[in-house]
Amino acid sequence: MTDLPEAQILPITADIGVDGRLMIGGCDVRDLVGKFGSPLYIYDEATLRDICRDFVGSFTAEYPNSHIEYSSKAFANPAIAEIIDQEGLDMDVVTGGELAVAIAANFPPERMNFHGNNKGREELVEALQYGIGIVTLDSFAEIDLLNEVAGELGVTQQVMLRLSPSIDPHTHLLTSTGILDSKFGFSIETGDAELAVEQAIDKESLDVVGLHFHLGSPIFELEPYSEAIDYVLQFAANMRDRYGLELKRFSPGGGFAIGYVSDTLPPAMSEYAKEIAVAIRKGCDAYGLDEPEVYLEPGRAIVGRAGVAVYTVGGIKTIPDVRTYVSVDGGMGDNIRPALYDSEYSVVPVDRPLAPRNQTVTVAGKFCESGDVLARDVDLPDPATGDLLALPASGAYCLMMASNYNMQTRPAVVLVNEGNARLIRRRETYSDLLASSLDID
C-alpha cells in the first residue's frame, strides 16, 4: 500500500520510487517513457493475474460450477491472451480479428466462445475450423447461416442464444445492451426469444446448450443482475416445458464496473458473485431447473485496472476566469471514451504524485476536435511542458477503440513485472499508416 491518492484505481504494484516518482511493476514510469516513447500504455502483469484469481476465487466460492470467460474486446493482444490462458480463464471473441489474436496465442479453442451480433460466413468458417467451443447466436439469419456452415464442415456446433431481457442496468445509454430498444439479442418480451429457441433446437447441425444475456457496462448496481437472472431462468423453464430445451450452460454476461475515479468505486467482486450465485440458485429452485454451468464474461474488470496510459504535456493555455487547457501528445485517437461516453478519468502527475495539487485544469488531446478532452477539471501541481501525466484505469477498451484520426500513429504497449518491461505492441510507424494505401498490387 502506498500514500498515492489513486492507490485504489492504479495497478496494485503502483508505488513511489526513491526519487519520488511513480513506479509501476517495479519500473520507473519516466524511465519507461524514455525507453519506449510517449504516449505509452503500461500494463501491470501482477495486477492482471491478481484480478483473474480474484474473479475465479470469488465466483467459484459462491458457485463452484462457474467459469470466467475474458471478453477480449476489452484488450485483445497475444501476450495478454497467454496470461489469460495460464490463469485458466476462458475467452470470448466477437470478430475474425479477435479470433486471429486468440489463434496467435494458441488459445485452446474448446475454452472459447464466439459472440457478436452479425458474424460473417468467413468468420464462422474460421471459428469452426479452429474448433471453437461455443458460438453465441444473436439473430435468425445467424441461426440459419451457422447451421449451413456447420453442415458444410460436417460438425455439430454447440451454441447458446443471446437474449434481451428488457432490463435497464442504469449505465450510459450507449453501453446499455439488454434493454428492449437494442440491436443485441432475441427479445423475450417481443416473442423473438421463443421463436429462436424453437428454430435453433430443430437445426440439424446445431446443439443448443444454453442461454446468455448481457445487460451492458459498466454496471455499478447488483440488482439488475438478479432481476434479469430470475426473468431468464423463468423463460428457460418455459422453453424446457414447450420445446425440451435443456439449460446446461447459462451466462449472465459481463459488465462488472471498475473505479476510474477514487470516489466512485464498484462493489467487490465477491459481492457481484454472491448476488449472481444466490439469484441462480433461487431461480433454479423456483422453476425446477437443474443448476447449470455458469459463464461470466468480464472484459473491463479483468484488464481495466491493469493498464495505465502515460502522456507528455506540451502546450498550456490559460483563459482567465474560464479554464486552463493542458494539451498532451495523445487523446481521442487512443482514448475516445471521454468524448463518446463522457467517461471520467483521474490524472496522476508522474514526477510528483504526492505534491499538493493546487491548480484545476482540463487535460486535452492533440486531435483536431474540440471534444478531444481526456479529463475535465482535474487538480494538478503547477503543470509544465514536459511533465508526464498518467491516467489510471486505461486498460480496457481505450486501445481497442483507438483510431488513426489525423493520421496519428497508435501508442506502444509494455507489460511490466518485477522491474522488467516487455514491449507487447510496438508503436505504429508512418509506413504502417501508408501500407494499406500504397501496398496495392
**Which residues contribute to the site for ligand LLP (CB under 6 A)?**
71, 74, 115, 175, 177, 214, 217-218, 253-256, 297-301, 337, 397, 401
**Nearest to ligand LLP of 203, 300 (CB atom):** 300
**Nearest to ligand LLP of 128, 215 (CB atom):** 215
**Nearest to ligand LLP of 53, 240 (CB atom):** 53
CA–CA dist 388, 312 (Å, integer): 5
Q: Phi, psi at residue 293, to the nearest 5°?
A: -70, 135
The least distance separating ligand LLP from the CB of residue 421, rounded to whole angstroms, comes to 26
**Nearest to ligand LLP of 30, 53 (CB atom):** 53
Contact by Cβ (8 Å): 304, 257? no
Burial class (CB in 10 A: 0-12, 13-18, 19+), 93: buried
Element (H, E) at 121: helix 121-130
Contact by Cβ (8 Å): 178, 167? yes
The least distance separating ligand LLP from the CB of residue 55, rounded to whole angstroms, comes to 11
The least distance separating ligand LLP from the CB of residue 429, rounded to whole angstroms, comes to 26
Residue 398 among the catalytic residues: no
Nearest to 424 by CA among 13, 77, 61: 77
Which residues touch 178 (CB under 8 Å, ≥6 apart)?
A: 164, 165, 166, 167, 168, 169, 184, 185, 213, 214, 215, 216, 228, 253
The least distance separating ligand LLP from the CB of residue 152, rounded to whole angstroms, comes to 26
**Nearest to ligand LLP of 313, 375 (CB atom):** 375
Catalytic residue, from 27, 52, 284, 368: name it. Answer: 368
Q: Where would I find the H helices in 247-324? A: 269-287, 300-303
The least distance separating ligand LLP from the CB of residue 384, rounded to whole angstroms, comes to 31
Which residues touch 381 (CB under 8 Å, ≥6 apart)?
A: 349, 352, 355, 356, 357, 358, 359
CA–CA dist 273, 332 (Å, integer): 34
The least distance separating ligand LLP from the CB of residue 419, rounded to whole angstroms, comes to 30
The least distance separating ligand LLP from the CB of residue 182, rounded to whole angstroms, comes to 10
Burial class (CB in 10 A: 0-12, 13-18, 19+), 361: buried
Contact by Cβ (8 Å): 303, 43? yes
CA torsion 366→370→373→377, rounded to 10°?
Answer: 130
Nearest to 363 by CA among 386, 394, 395, 331: 331
**Nearest to ligand LLP of 298, 383 (CB atom):** 298
**Nearest to ligand LLP of 36, 70 (CB atom):** 70
Type of residue at 317: K
**Nearest to ligand LLP of 36, 55 (CB atom):** 55
The least distance separating ligand LLP from the CB of residue 309, rounded to whole angstroms, comes to 13
Q: Are strands 206-213 and 388-391 parallel, antiparallel or unpaired?
A: unpaired
Type of residue at 96: G
Cell matching residue 307 = 493498464
What are the strands, taking DSSP E only, across 88-190? 90-93, 112-114, 134-137, 157-164, 186-187
Active site residues: 368
